[in-house]
């Protein structure tokens, strides 16, 4: 059983640029969530994708968007990067049949630095 894999592991971008982060969900999982974790803080929920559609969203602006593909992998896109977007971005997969309540499996994250 493979876990959640994210790419790239580290990324440096300039303010105003756009970035795409990628996630492959754990085998058998059909739901993907994205979280932003600032240094020294707990992860904050960005959004969740199920059956290729966003079905839940946290308090993040529209410049944070995503996609889920038929194989359940996912992308997180951030436009017009700001310095405060510097954080660890975590992808988590779950099985929606259990409404995500049998636990989320997290990847190791992408460390994004905006300069």
What residues line the site for other proteins (CB under 8 A)? 4, 31, 33, 35, 40-45, 47-48, 50, 55-56, 58-59, 90, 92, 94, 96, 98-101, 103-109
Residue in 89, 90, 85, 91 with CA at minimum distance from that of residue 113: 85
Closer to other proteins at the Cβ: 81 or 109? 109
Q: How far is the CB of 104 from other proteins (least distance, A)?
A: 7
Please enumerate, as own/partner, the contacts of 50-57 that have beta carbons within 8 Å and a separation of 24 or more.
50/96
Q: How far is the CB of 66 from other proteins (least distance, A)?
A: 13
What SS3 state is found at 94? strand
């Amino acid at each position: 059983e493979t876990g959640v894999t994210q790419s790239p592991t580290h990324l440096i971008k300039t303010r105003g640029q756009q970035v795409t982060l990628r996630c492959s969900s754990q085998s058998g999982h059909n739901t993907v969530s994205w979280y932003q974790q600032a240094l020294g803080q707990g992860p904050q929920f960005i959004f969740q994708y199920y059956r290729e559609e966003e079905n839940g969203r946290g308090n993040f602006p529209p410049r944070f968007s995503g996609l889920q593909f038929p194989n359940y992998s996912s992308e997180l896109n951030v436009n017009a990067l700001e310095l405060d977007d510097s954080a660890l971005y975590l992808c988590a997969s779950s099985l929606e049949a259990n409404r995500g309540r049998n636990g989320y499996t997290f990847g190791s994250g992408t460390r994004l630095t905006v300069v």
